[in-house]
Amino acid sequence: MLLQRTLTALLLAPLAILVILLPPTWLFALIAGVAFLGAQWEWTCLSGLKAPAARVALLALAVLLFALLWWARGLAVWSLMLAVGVAWWVLACVWLRHFAFGAAPTAENRNLKLLAGAFVTIPAWVALLCVHDDAKPHGHWWTLLALVVVWAADIGAYFSGRFLGKRKLAPQISPGKTWAGVYGAFAAGALVMGVGGWLLDVRGAQLAGLMLLAVVTVAASIVGDLIESLMKRHAKVKDSGTLFPGHGGLLDRLDSVFAALPVFALGKLLLGL
């Protein structure tokens, strides 16, 4: 499985980097929107919504929201969406503490999970474009840095958890995650952010703030990962999909990113970067 995951990642990483760095923001918004909608499609299935027509209707509504938000870019609503995204992931921590909430396959729980899916994907899409379309220099590179921090944290968590992990982080939700993995993720994320920030001409107190932001961003990414694990446990499935060999579906690859992006984008804004 590790070999399969590694080969898939080596194939996908160059494509992801090119998609981030080369297109103008309007084209990047379309590409990211398609990926996010694919993840939202998987989320609707995990939520318990089985009717294809209803799932398509929800996706059409999401497309409309994306279009309206793109039209409103540059307005205060985008900053509001970042705050909403961060607030949602703080609330998600409460859900993780009460992990049995929403587990019963009722219509009420399904609708709550569908609503949660909107808070997962839509603020993340706005955050991604806020960073990519930044009028300051290197917007595309900042976008890549945000994602590389999450990827590095994932790698750091895997290896530190594998070799040092004993104390479980959330055994009822994701038995494979350990506190050692969390510390490894923090260290890897902060290191990558420090190097990336230096290369992007960030110095002094701002660089220190950026490395602190990396830790908060990685913490959010872990919450995103756990929330998707909780959704899969409720749905009694191993993966959200089968699109990527060894990696599952789109949601399996983007769960951490969805949580990290609003935190990173808002933190970057507050740091004046």
pLDDT tens profile 205-221: 999 999 999 999 999 99
| Integer CA distances (angstroms), 102 to 89, 107, 116, 160, in order | 17, 10, 11, 32
Per DSSP (E only), the strands in the chain are 168-170, 174-178
DSSP code of residue 169? E
For the chain, what percent of residues have pLDDT higher than 70? 93
67 close to 202: Cβ distance less than 8 angstroms: no
Please give the average per-residue pLDDT across 139-167, as a whole number: 92
Distance from C-alpha of 69 to C-alpha of 60, rounded to nearest angstrom? 14
Q: What mean pLDDT, rounded, does the chain reach?
A: 91
Nearest CA to 97 out of 157, 172, 154 is that of 172
Q: Say if residue 249's pLDDT is above 90.
A: no
Spatial distance between the Cα atoms of 42 and 46, rounded to a whole number of angstroms: 6
CB 82 within 8 A of CB 130: yes
Mean pLDDT of 91-106: 93
Q: What separation in angstroms does the CA of 253 have from each of 10, 65, 108, 241, 246? A: 14, 23, 27, 10, 11
Residue 162 pLDDT > 90: no
Backbone angles phi, psi at 174, to 5 degrees: -140, 90
Contact 220, 183 (CB under 8 A): no
**pTM over 0.85, yes/no:** yes
- 22, with CB counted inside 10 A (0-12, 13-18, 19+), is exposed
Angle between helix axes 250-270 and 25-47 (nearest 10 degrees) is 130
Unique residue bearing structure tokens 């993840």: 39
Give 237's DSSP letter. Answer: -
Q: Which of 32, 126, 140, 116 is nearest to 82 (CA)?
A: 126
| pLDDT surpasses 80 at 137 | no
Q: What is the mean pLDDT of residues 64-70?
A: 96
